[in-house]
């Protein structure tokens, strides 16, 4: 079973890297790029066979390590 974890900065937290990407896209001539937010996508292969148990375990991983919940939010998808 595979889990896909998306980690993004929380709304309201400034993202200087996303802002730099936005400026670079503008410099390349892509007009109308109003905002860019940059995050992480983490794929985890699991031995678990139970979806609910797998999701609960991955959520625990997010709380303990994968996300810093002071500044980041996360979403877990079992695929």
Partner 1 sequence: MKAAVITFPGSNCDRDLAVAFAAAGADVARVWHKDTALPAGTDVVGIPGGFSFGDYLRCGAIAARAPIMAAVAAHAARGGFVIGICNGFQVLTEAGLLPGALMRNAGLRFVCKPVDLIVTGQSAFTDGWAQGARIRLPIAHHDGNYQAAPETLARLEGEGRVALRYAQNPNGAARDIAGVLSENRRVLGLMPHPERAIEAAQGGSDGAALFAALMGATAPA
What residues line the site for partner 1 (CB under 8 A)?
13-14, 16-17, 20, 64-66, 68, 70-71
Tokens of 21: 């990407």
Residue 18 beta carbon to partner 1: minimum distance, rounded to whole angstroms: 10
State which residue, 17 or 53, has the beta carbon closest to partner 1. 17
State which residue, 9 or 78, has the beta carbon closest to partner 1. 9
6 exposure class (CB count in 10 Å sphere: 0-12, 13-18, 19+): middle
How many other CB atoms are there within 10 angstroms of residue 62's CB atom?
Answer: 21
Residue 61 beta carbon to partner 1: minimum distance, rounded to whole angstroms: 11
Tokens of 5: 């974890």
């Amino acid at each position: 079973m595979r889990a896909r974890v998306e980690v993004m900065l929380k709304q309201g937290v400034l993202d200087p890297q996303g802002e730099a990407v936005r400026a670079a896209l503008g410099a390349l001539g892509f007009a109308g790029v109003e905002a860019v937010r940059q995050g992480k996508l983490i794929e985890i292969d699991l031995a678990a066979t139970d979806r609910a148990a797998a999701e609960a375990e991955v959520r625990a991983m997010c709380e303990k390590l994968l996300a810093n919940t002071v500044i980041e939010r996360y979403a877990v998808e079992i695929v």
